[in-house]
A and B are shown apart, each in its own frame.
Chain A
Amino acid sequence: MTTRFAPLPTTASASNAVASTTTESIVFRPTPQQAYLMRIGDSCLIHAQRLAEWSGHAPILEEDIALTNLALDLVGQARALLTHVGKQVGFDEDQLAFLRNERDFVNFTLVELPGRKAGRDFADAIVRNFLLSAWMNVLWARLEASSDAEVAAIAGKAVKESRYHVAHAADWVVRLGDGSDESARRMRQAVARLWPYAAELFETDAVDTAAAESGLGPMRVALKAEWDAIVAPVFAEAGLEIPAAGAFRSTGSRGVHSEHMGYLLAEMQVLQRSFPGGVW
């Protein structure tokens, strides 16, 4: 039998081995303090990635610009934190963002849940943005007093940005929740879908404890009362009910992600994986 193609090698040998065109992943074992900061940085980064999916697709042009503006702030916040941790472990921000594997990302599951591309509603984007922005706002305000001067400095800038993130998100929650029957129905559905994932924002583990003990930042559970104080009145004005607490706990902040995370990373990382070290 003749063939136009050379037979595939059964094992790679020195003569026909081909260099891999993908970049090797990086791995590092973070200290609890580093893990604490990576949770925040990764949550900013992945939230930004989901928000940016609305670029060119939001219901109105102004919102298109708004969501990408928020995403830009979040990327900036993520860059600052990843750079800060990266300096301690010998990697730069790009390596940390683009060359870690799924298991090493420690963002909250909430931020990785499907965005526009998976056919989720605009209401989901609004509800998620509100729940997360409110949390970030409370967190950044606390981190201004961090024992880590660089973290305090990053927070000093980010807290100002988070204020208008919350305000913008809250405006939409009210507009849609207290809007038409249809918009209210979709908002109720989005709240029902996303609320169970908000519980992870207030879990406690050894990472939180270590961060709190060293003065790096607050335990997540310590943010709950202030978060409630932002969320409750906005939900009330929007005519949305706050769902009862459930037993479900998502685990993204421990590196165990939903089935959506791999697809998100594939898209986010493809350029660096395919063109190692590529720069603008």
Chain B
Amino acid sequence: MTAREPAASARVSQAWDVLHGVLDPEVPAISVTDLGIVRDVIEHGDGLEVIVTPTYSGCPATEVIEQAISDAIVTAGLGPARVTQRRAPAWTTDWITPEGREKLRAYGIAPPGSCASEATASNVQPIRLMARNVACPRCGSAQTERLSAFGSTACKSLYRCVACREPFEHFKPI
């Protein structure tokens, strides 16, 4: 995540506090800052600019998130705000904060592992590459199996815990 600059104005600082409360509409357990998609908040003469990096190319929540961010800033009396996209560098699940990962787990979604461990998986390997060591977010068991590589949203796959038999979602590392 972009570190908050020590010299950031009170307005920018307050904006970050507001953004901590803006939830991802598809995973309403974590905020946009937990997700690591807010890259910067810049104060201009006429308002605040919030720079976000989209998660997936086709994520249908992108527009909703941008609107929610803008609304939250305005509602907090810090507006007007405009949200701009910064595509590069591409978002990665490595940007999800430790706090965000814990919130995901508590919500019943197994958080993603680090991308570095996945990157070694070659393109040419037929996908038998199940993410390893996905611990059950409920009972903590490592005895889990993947049911489906794709799930209810682009960012998740579906697993089942062999120990407690509960199905759960896994936030895919990307």
Inter-chain contact B87/A66, CB cutoff 8 Å: no
Residues of A within 8 A of B87 (CB): 80, 150, 153-154, 156-157
Residues of B within 8 A of A163 (CB): 123
A173 CB–B CB distance under 8 Å:
yes
Inter-chain contact B149/A170, CB cutoff 8 Å: no
* Nearest neighbor of A158 in chain B, beta-carbon distance: B57
> Given contacts A157-B54, A167-B129, is CB(A65)–CB(B123) below 8 Å?
no
A75 to chain B, nearest CB (A): 5
Inter-chain contact B56/A164, CB cutoff 8 Å: no
B interface, CB within 8 angstroms of A: 54, 56-60, 87-92, 121, 123-129, 147-152, 154, 158, 172, 174
Residues of A within 8 A of B123 (CB): 134, 137, 163, 166-167, 230
* B interface SS class: loop
* A interface SS class: helix
> What are 17 contact pairs spanning A and B, CB under 8 A?
A65-B148, A69-B150, A71-B58, A72-B154, A76-B58, A79-B57, A156-B90, A157-B87, A157-B91, A160-B92, A164-B149, A170-B124, A170-B125, A171-B127, A174-B126, A229-B124, A230-B123
- Known A161-B174, A164-B174; 8 more pairs at CB < 8 Å: A76-B58, A76-B59, A156-B88, A157-B54, A157-B91, A158-B57, A163-B123, A170-B126
Residues of B within 8 A of A194 (CB): none
A106 CB–B CB distance under 8 Å:
no
A146 to chain B, nearest CB (A): 11
Inter-chain contact B148/A237, CB cutoff 8 Å: no
* Nearest neighbor of B148 in chain A, beta-carbon distance: A62
B155 to chain A, nearest CB (A): 10
Most chain A beta-carbon neighbours within 10 Å: one of B124, B126, B127: B126
How many A residues touch B, CB cutoff 8 Å?
Answer: 39
| Distance of A245 Cα from B34 Cα, bound (Å) | 51
* Those of A42-77 within 8 Å (CB) of chain B: 62, 65-66, 69, 71-77
